[in-house]
Amino acid sequence: MATTDQKYRLITLPNETLRKPSRKIGLISAEVKSVVNAMQQTTIDWEDSREHEVGVALAAVQLGQLMRIVIIRNNINEKEDRSFSVFINPVITKYEGNQEVDFEGCLSIQSIYGKVPRYQKVRVKAIGLNGREFRVTVDGFLARTFQHEIDHTNGKLFIDYIKDDPDAFYQLMPDGKLEKLDYEKDIEKSRILW
């Protein structure tokens, strides 16, 4: 069930830790492995508490841990597959293709979705839990996911890209549909988001 260790609790805006850059990891320690386990469990627990959302990925900073760690679900189209890949010190080495606008949400920004421009394809290098460097090239939704999560390690959130776009913000409704938010009332002067 839920992660009981309070130091690994999911944090949400307006928590200022989400705006801080994470530190590079030099050693794959027991602490790093503990954070990874907590990240996986927290993502699954969050998903289990939602009727219309899937936990696709998480960055360590979202548990208040300023470490450059990202986990991404192995099969984003299969909710029953609850396994994740681990990316330590992930870096995008190349952006490819045009930018496309699509919806994004975030476990640390409750119920708000946004239409965010992202590159169609990215090349990423990272270190695995075994300490070895590896590289992946991904496109489509997975490329969007990598860009979103690696932004987290740099203290950047998806809402930062669309802060001045009054047509980009939506709220997830109880029926699972997205409804456009009133920018002036709900977004522009929000003390939670900014």
Residues labelled as active-site residues: 149
Cα 90 from chain centre: 13
Nearest to 8 by CA among 43, 28, 31, 38: 38
Strand partners, 184: none
Distance separating alpha carbons of residues 19 and 31, to the nearest angstrom = 22
Count of other CB atoms within 10 angstroms of residue 70: 30
Count of other CB atoms within 10 angstroms of residue 9: 15
16: exposed, middle or buried (C-beta count within 10 Å: 0-12, 13-18, 19+)?
exposed
